[in-house]
């Protein structure tokens, strides 16, 4: 896997005359196996192997204009034509026109050779993991099972005109499952052990799916709703991530303004914080440094209920006159990408469920992406809201829940509960429920 290095070295040589540059090149190989509607592989989910080069380059030309380009496996053969193409696309973006000074990348382990062996050698463990999921789901009473398991091995090169040259390997493992088209789960990691703990997690999903088979009735009213950690992840990704993104803050498309961050405005309850940490050893969202050369690490974005910092790359850090932050990795749920919500008063997930009475447990919603994140309001369909009475599941009802997620983070009666399987908590809050 040296293609990424070859491309990076060739580009670095070709770009030596410009004002500044940075690049990232990833050589990615993966294998995945799936099951749809109880059918392993078949037409629509055949076992799949992929290999390609992905990445990008950012250039500051002599006149201060900038260009962004895409790197792939053809880049090497297209030089110098690609550089001329990128030059033809140059535009002025003074806040973006900067290259980070040389900073040592954080040393964080991201590679398991046993996972790399699965990708480049025997793919059997991936098939076996899908079989394990299916078996655990069937034992839980599942009628219809969907599952997917995949592994990838990546070699990454990050380089800048400041002298940064980082090359490191990483591995990824992802597993997902769905039961009866109603409940689902996900597990992400970087090591072989990610595959080992699947049955227990699948059984937990199976219990919810089993509870949803009996139907219950709920009267329309304001009532307590318990969002599972998986659903909280989607709320964080939609509402909090949007409003904390530096681009949206700087450009007036967030609920919060740069001034509110500078004034450390109080937006959540005093014991609630939002942390980004991209240097967790073997964390699925961890990395050594960002594509801009900013070392990974930990930062408080909301601290004790007060706005501390938006998520800032170098461009929006300059525009907001603040320091850049570690940036959550894209393409995965926020918690796995390093973004976690924490409340000092958190209890255990099992304790919260056991103590719940006259509540709706929500593990899946329809329509999250249709909501306006700037308002904080939500109005979501829940096809299988599980009625909880005296800590026991009492069937499921189709309901619509509505409220304000951001306001709920400021309510004294909102409860947070952590489980050992999920990076973010489950949350109990008051919603309006329509049946």
Partner 1 sequence: MSLRVSACTEACRAACERARELGVYAVVRLQDKVERAIGVVNGRTDLKSVEEVSGVGVQVFAEGGLVGFASSDTVTPGSLVDLVESAARLARRSGAYGPEPAIGIDRIRPLVAQVEREVAMGMGAIGHAEEEDLVAGICKMTMEIDSRLAVRTFYRIVDEEWRVVRTDGTDVMFSMPRAAVMNMITARSDGHAATVNASLAGEDASIVASPEGRLRLEKRTVKAARTALALLGAPKARAGSYRIVMDYALAKGLAHEAFGHAAESDCMETSILGREGKFRAGERIAAHIVTIVDGPLEGDYAYQPISANGVPRETVEIVKNGILVRALADVFSARQANVPVTGAARAESFRHVPVPRMSNIRITVDDPLPIDLAFEDVAPQDVRDCLARAGLLLERAPVLYLSGYKGGQVNPAKGDFVFNCSAIYELTPTDIRLCQPAIFSGKVLSALGSIIAGIGQPILDAMGTCGKSGQRVPSSGGGNMFLVIDENEEITIGGV
- Nearer CB in complex with partner 1: 123/286: 123
CB of 194 to partner 1, least distance (A): 20
Q: Is 366 in the site for partner 1 (CB under 8 A)?
A: yes
The count of residues interacting with partner 1 (CB under 8 A) is: 66
CB of 210 to partner 1, least distance (A): 16
Q: Is 411 in the site for partner 1 (CB under 8 A)?
A: no
- Torsion sign (Cα): 364, 369, 374, 377: negative
CB of 71 to partner 1, least distance (A): 11
Which one of 18, 19, 47, 192 is in contact with partner 1 (CB under 8 A)? Answer: 47
Q: Is 378 in the site for partner 1 (CB under 8 A)?
A: yes
406: tokens are: 């951001």
- Nearer CB in complex with partner 1: 12/131: 131
Q: Is 420 in the site for partner 1 (CB under 8 A)?
A: no
Euclidean distance between CA atoms 156 and 174, whole angstroms: 19
- Nearer CB in complex with partner 1: 177/416: 177
User: Largest Cα–Cα distance of the chain, in whole Å?
Assistant: 71
- Subset of residues 6 to 35 that bind partner 1, contact rule: CB under 8 A: 31, 33
273: tokens are: 């914080």
Which one of 13, 63, 88, 413 is in contact with partner 1 (CB under 8 A)? Answer: 88
- Nearer CB in complex with partner 1: 7/352: 7
435: tokens are: 């049946």
- Nearer CB in complex with partner 1: 96/164: 96
- Nearer CB in complex with partner 1: 38/106: 38
Q: Is 221 in the site for partner 1 (CB under 8 A)?
A: no
Which one of 7, 15, 45, 153 is in contact with partner 1 (CB under 8 A)? Answer: 45
* Residues of the shown chain interacting with partner 1 in the complex, contacts defined by CB under 8 A: 31, 33, 37, 39-53, 67-70, 72-74, 85, 88-89, 91-93, 123-124, 127-128, 130-131, 144, 181-182, 220, 247, 251-253, 255, 366-372, 374-375, 377-381, 383, 398, 400, 402, 432, 434
């Amino acid at each position: 896997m040296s293609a990424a290095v070859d491309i990076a070295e060739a580009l670095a040589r070709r770009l030596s005359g410009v004002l500044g540059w940075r690049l990232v090149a990833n050589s990615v190989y993966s294998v995945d196996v799936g099951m749809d509607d109880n059918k392993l592989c078949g037409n629509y989910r055949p076992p799949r192997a992929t290999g390609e080069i992905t990445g990008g380059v950012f250039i500051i030309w002599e006149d201060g204009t900038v260009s962004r380009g895409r790197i792939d496996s053809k880049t090497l053969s297209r030089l110098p034509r690609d550089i001329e193409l990128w030059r033809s696309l140059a535009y002025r973006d003074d806040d973006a026109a900067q290259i980070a000074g040389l900073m040592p990348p954080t040393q964080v382990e991201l590679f398991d050779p046993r996972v790399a062996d699965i990708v480049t050698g025997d793919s059997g463990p991936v098939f076996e993991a899908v079989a394990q999921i299916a078996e655990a789901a069937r034992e839980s009473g599942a009628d219809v099972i969907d599952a997917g398991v995949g592994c990838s091995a990546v070699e990454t090169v990050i380089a800048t005109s400041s002298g940064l040259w980082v090359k490191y390997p990483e591995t990824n493992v992802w597993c997902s499952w769905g039961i009866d088209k109603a409940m689902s789960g996900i597990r992400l990691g970087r090591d072989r052990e990610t595959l080992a703990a699947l049955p227990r997690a699948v059984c937990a999903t199976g219990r919810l799916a089993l509870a949803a088979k009996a139907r219950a009735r709920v009267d329309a009213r304001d009532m307590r709703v318990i969002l599972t950690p998986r659903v909280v992840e989607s709320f964080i990704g939609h509402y909090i991530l949007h409003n904390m993104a530096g681009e949206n803050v700087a450009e007036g498309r967030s609920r919060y303004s740069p001034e509110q961050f500078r004034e450390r405005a109080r937006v959540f309850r005093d014991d609630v914080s939002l942390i980004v940490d991209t240097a967790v050893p073997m964390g699925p969202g961890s990395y050594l440094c960002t594509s801009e050369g900013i070392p990974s690490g930990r930062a408080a974005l909301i601290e004790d209920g007060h706005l501390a910092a938006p998520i800032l790359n170098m461009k929006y850090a300059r525009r907001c006159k603040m320091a850049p932050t570690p940036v959550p990795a894209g393409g995965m749920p926020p918690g796995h990408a390093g973004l976690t919500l924490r409340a000092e008063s958190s209890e255990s997930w099992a304790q919260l469920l056991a103590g719940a009475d006259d509540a709706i447990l929500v593990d899946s919603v329809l329509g999250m992406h249709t909501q306006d994140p700037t308002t904080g309001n939500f109005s979501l369909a829940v096809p299988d809201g599980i009625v909880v009475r005296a800590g026991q599941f009492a069937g499921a009802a189709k309901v619509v829940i509505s409220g304000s997620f951001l306001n709920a983070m400021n309510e004294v009666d909102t409860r947070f509960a952590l489980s050992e399987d999920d990076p973010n908590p489950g949350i109990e809050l008051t919603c309006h429920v329509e049946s």
